[in-house]
Amino acid sequence: MDQGSNLPLAAVDESVETPAVVIDKPRLQANIDAMQARAAHHGVTLRPHIKTHKCLEIAAAQLGAGAVGLTCSKTEEAAVFAAAGVPSITVAYPQVLGAKVDRLIAVAAEHGTSLRFIADSAAGVETLVGAAKRAARTIPVFVKVDVGLHRCGVQENDPALVTLAQAIARAPGLVFAGLLAHAGHAYGGGNAAGVRQVAREENATMDRARRRIVDAGIAVPEISVGSTPTALASDAYEGVTEMRPGNYVFLDLTPVQLGLATLDQVALTVLATVVSANDQYLIVDSGSKVLSSDFRPHGGGGTAYGLAFPDGPTLSLEDGLPVAKLSEEHGWIAHGGHRLPVGARVRIVPNHSCPVANLADAFVVAAPGESPTTWRVAARGKVH
């Protein structure tokens, strides 16, 4: 488990109007470097998922630190990064509409980006066969394995696991790239030990799935796994070739409360202003349109929408005031008698930084001794 960066929270001067989604640049870089080092230590490559930040500048920092490429969810999202010249992108989302794949392949071809896709159904394989034929390109395809989240993917003992691998290996225009998984249920692991157990089970499941396909006479070039909690907690990487965490660049209350990170590693906060107050609540100018209405990813629990702290260089969990309620434009901070004056500014650490980032047009980027700058959320709202 990482022990924290010990970096003070970078100050934001009064010229920055609230609400603002603030990125602490030194903490961001520390998180990027730490995950790259973790991947190297375990002998796997790092292909970060950019759904967390959707920002070209952050992607460039990840690639500059040694990431082999990026992971995206949607084809529109991937197209933004392909157009920026990212050399390799995995689209880790089942594709069943050929027009979306066609558009992305065209952008990738124009900018020299290699693409990799996933499938967990015969319909998905056929969609990719058609796209490969129309583009006269060869497409690497992973079979998505369900390792416990029960969202997308094929169960390890489902006959479709081998059938799909065979179909991809034999299909014109496709190449079987290996197996890919996402242990998103790790967010409900409860603590670091629980998350570590999920990671071990993921590793064991993927190894059994790999052996089933190898026994059918098909080589499995890659085993790709990904989630920030398992990446931070895992001690099981045997057979794994690649990991795809996303949230690690920012972090948030979820990994902190799981015991996988500390508040002084969190790089994304929401700067808000107290606009009203009463006997129970401080009302701030950040509601669900800024903070999102997420508690935790994948049903991981939670009873508030984040913790609010007086704006300053250090944050302590003991001083955090829960963001108890949200309306569209208002956040309701339960002050418990610790009242702040109207006009005071607070830093809110959200439960889940990924949707917060997607709600922003741009990040305010802060670093000690530097004037604040802005980075555009270039793939904001790219959901097709």
pLDDT class for 301, splitting at 50, 70, 90? low
Give residue 22's identity as a one-letter amino acid code. V
263 to each of 238, 313, 354, how far by Cα in Å?
31, 11, 17
Task: Encode pLDDT of 84-143 as tens digits.
Answer: 999 999 999 999 999 999 999 999 999 999 999 999 999 999 999 999 999 999 999 999
Give me the count of residues in the chain: 384
Least confident of 25-39, 306-320, 352-366: 306-320
What is the C-alpha to C-alpha distance for residues 46 and 384, in angstroms, rounded to an integer? 25
Q: Is residue 40 scored above 50 in pLDDT? A: yes
DSSP code per residue over 212-230: HHHHTT----EEEE--HHH
What is the Cβ-side half-sphere exposure of residue 230, based on CA atoms within 13 angstroms?
27
Which residues on adjacent β-strands are paired with residue 306?
350
The per-residue pLDDT for 6 is 78
Task: Encode pLDDT of 196-208 as tens digits.
Answer: 999 999 999 999 9
- 70-72 sheet: strands from edge to edge: 45-46, 242-243, 222-225, 174-181, 139-145, 114-119, 88-91, 70-72
pLDDT class for 1, splitting at 50, 70, 90? very low
ω into residue 19 within 30 of 0, thus cis?
yes
Average pLDDT of the segment spanning 365-379: 96
pLDDT class for 4, splitting at 50, 70, 90? low
DSSP 49: B
pLDDT class for 161, splitting at 50, 70, 90? very high
Q: Is residue 26 scored above 60 in pLDDT? A: yes
pTM: 0.96
pLDDT class for 3, splitting at 50, 70, 90? very low
Task: Encode pLDDT of 215-254 as tens digits.
Answer: 999 999 999 998 999 999 999 899 999 999 999 999 999 9
Q: What do you get for the CA distance between the two ends of the chain, in Å?
A: 36
